[in-house]
Chain A
């Protein structure tokens, strides 16, 4: 029991000492908390999005086949389909027809996609939630409802009015926000595509294990094509918010340097005043280990409070305010953007790593420079 009492006494004293310089120490905690907040926010966001992408895209097409000409994606002639369908293991080959449509009125980019269900219903479209918000002028917001019509500018300058027959569920916003599903006929009217072309091909495969073999055969058959496998689609999203990506590295470097500056103040050793006080403590009966314990608690108190506050505020930031501070960066120049309300997938492992990379070094930076002063002779104070 006395060991606990001793720790409590030492903490009492340490807190009294910190409180002497309220301003400096409180700002220290604030800055430290902010650094943790930033790092944890990035960490939470990246992990949640990657996890969500992995879950949502688990049934994405097994193999997609694109065609590249002069390094750019171009249309695949439907004649490719027969030969590919004959490859052993391929269950079905479906041509996809899709492209990007720029809505001059709202400044938004839509993904226009042909949907087989609309084949016999030309003039009708299904749209995603993001498409329902259009602007007539800068101030005027129009909310498009079912049975409203949206004008689409075609390749020859005329306008095609298409009627909204349905709005895709708001819950699917993260994948369908900018989608406009059209019939093949209307797609052709807007973009002037000849009928026997596809943007890419979707393959269904019998045996998952044969995916790479089949991909290799396709590439051999048609060297101007590029097959993309489902696991490659998923790995794309693992790479998003990778710490090596531009903006992330800037944030991390900033946080890193802020942290160094914080710890620098501690690491460059004690002031003469602090050394003298340690001398007094030694003279009146404190041991070296007591001094070091006090320093440990000092580092731990600042670190632990900052860490907890940083993590909790980061959690609230990402999962309760939909990343409010990151939103401008995430939205960029997009006119149409999804609601960044993510499911809170958090990784205890990543939190533990953040803990070890911040709390431990800071606490060590508080203890180590005091080592020398802590071992001072008790009579040094009498000799001055």
Chain B
């Protein structure tokens, strides 16, 4: 599905605070599988996720998505592909405050100019799936941590992407909510989605939902094994 070849990512090149986040990573991600990126903070997990998700460009190397090379596509095409192919969940959720939960879910689809009624219906459907339709018009700052997490998931799913990327999704959740999260991930995988998760939480990487664990350290892949 996604193929990375000799990817390097250097921040602030040429400046005194030059920093190499990713060092010569070659990787192939299979579709319909759940992969966890494991490693201490600073290992480059987040950077790798953003490159995999077409959010950042590598300093050197090649990326292929579904057999199509996307390394040097202009921003507009890249954004279009990203919007349709990927759904993101951030560590801090990053929901827009002061706006209703429903509208937060619909925002990623706005640039595509879909008919409002159809979009709204789909968004409500997703909230239903996640048992949150009663909170549709609530402002996001009034939601509990678990509810906000599920809104973030719904937002990631609004464009029906093939790949879900989650960065430390359980960082702000307690055990039961974390387990709930993994169950939702299971359902998504069963629907045929590809999952890419960065986490150092055992509840995540030890779950049987996970097919593969990639260990990282100092910007390099140090281990890559199928989950037993």
Q: How far is the CA of A21 from the CA of B99 in the complex (A)?
A: 11
The answer to whether B103 and A16 have CB atoms under 8 Å apart is yes
Residue of A nearest to B159 (CB): A285
Complex interface: stretch among A7-15, A134-142, A156-164, A229-237 = A7-15
A103 on the interface (CB 8 Å rule)? no
Query: Interface residue count for B (Cβ, 8 Å)?
Result: 35
The answer to whether B113 and A287 have CB atoms under 8 Å apart is no
Q: Measured between C-beta atoms, what is the minimum distance from B54 to chain A in Å?
A: 9
B55 proximity list for chain A (CB < 8 A): 283, 377-379, 382
B15 on the interface (CB 8 Å rule)? no
Count: A-B pairs, CB below 8 Å: 97
Contact with A along B63-102 (1 / 0, CB 8 A): 0000000000001100100110000101010101111100
| Residue among B47, B90, B114 making CB contact with A5, cutoff 8 Å | B114
B155 on the interface (CB 8 Å rule)? yes
Q: How far is the CA of A2 from the CA of B167 in the complex (A)?
A: 32
Contact with B along A17-49 (1 / 0, CB 8 A): 101110000000000000000000000000000
B49 on the interface (CB 8 Å rule)? yes
The answer to whether A382 and B46 have CB atoms under 8 Å apart is yes
B116 on the interface (CB 8 Å rule)? yes
The answer to whether B113 and A9 have CB atoms under 8 Å apart is yes
| Residue among A6, A21, A277 making CB contact with B110, cutoff 8 Å | A6
B98 proximity list for chain A (CB < 8 A): 16-17, 19-21
Q: Which of A71-92 contact B (CB under 8 A)?
A: none
Residue of A nearest to B139 (CB): A20
The answer to whether B90 and A381 have CB atoms under 8 Å apart is yes
The answer to whether B99 and A5 have CB atoms under 8 Å apart is no
| Residue among A5, A9, A21, A378 making CB contact with B56, cutoff 8 Å | A378
A6 proximity list for chain B (CB < 8 A): 110-113
| Residue among B56, B99, B111 making CB contact with A285, cutoff 8 Å | B111
The answer to whether B113 and A3 have CB atoms under 8 Å apart is yes
A379 proximity list for chain B (CB < 8 A): 47, 50, 55-56
Residue of B nearest to A377 (CB): B56
Q: Which of A364-384 contact B (CB under 8 A)?
A: 377-379, 381-384
Residue of B nearest to A375 (CB): B75
Q: Measured between C-beta atoms, what is the minimum distance from A380 to chain B in Å?
A: 9
- Size class of A's contact patch? 20 to 34
| Residue among A2, A20, A280, A287 making CB contact with B75, cutoff 8 Å | A287
B107 on the interface (CB 8 Å rule)? yes
B94 proximity list for chain A (CB < 8 A): 280, 283, 381
Q: Measured between C-beta atoms, what is the minimum distance from B162 to chain A in Å?
A: 14
The answer to whether B115 and A5 have CB atoms under 8 Å apart is yes
Q: How far is the CA of A378 from the CA of B107 in the complex (A)?
A: 15
The answer to whether A5 and B155 have CB atoms under 8 Å apart is no
The answer to whether A8 and B116 have CB atoms under 8 Å apart is yes
The answer to whether A283 and B97 have CB atoms under 8 Å apart is no
Q: Measured between C-beta atoms, what is the minimum distance from A368 to chain B in Å?
A: 20
B108 on the interface (CB 8 Å rule)? yes
Q: Measured between C-beta atoms, what is the minimum distance from A24 to chain B in Å?
A: 12
Q: How far is the CA of A210 from the CA of B157 in the complex (A)?
A: 86
The answer to whether B113 and A2 have CB atoms under 8 Å apart is yes
The answer to whether B107 and A284 have CB atoms under 8 Å apart is yes
Q: How far is the CA of A4 from the CA of B116 in the complex (A)?
A: 11
Q: List 6 A-B contacts (CB under 8 A).
A: A285-B111, A286-B107, A287-B76, A379-B55, A379-B56, A382-B167
Given A284-B83, A284-B108, A285-B159, 4 new contacts (CB under 8 A): A5-B116, A20-B98, A283-B88, A384-B92
Chain B residues with a Cβ under 8 A of chain A: 46-47, 49-50, 55-56, 75-76, 79, 82-83, 88, 90, 92, 94, 96-100, 103, 106-116, 155, 159, 167
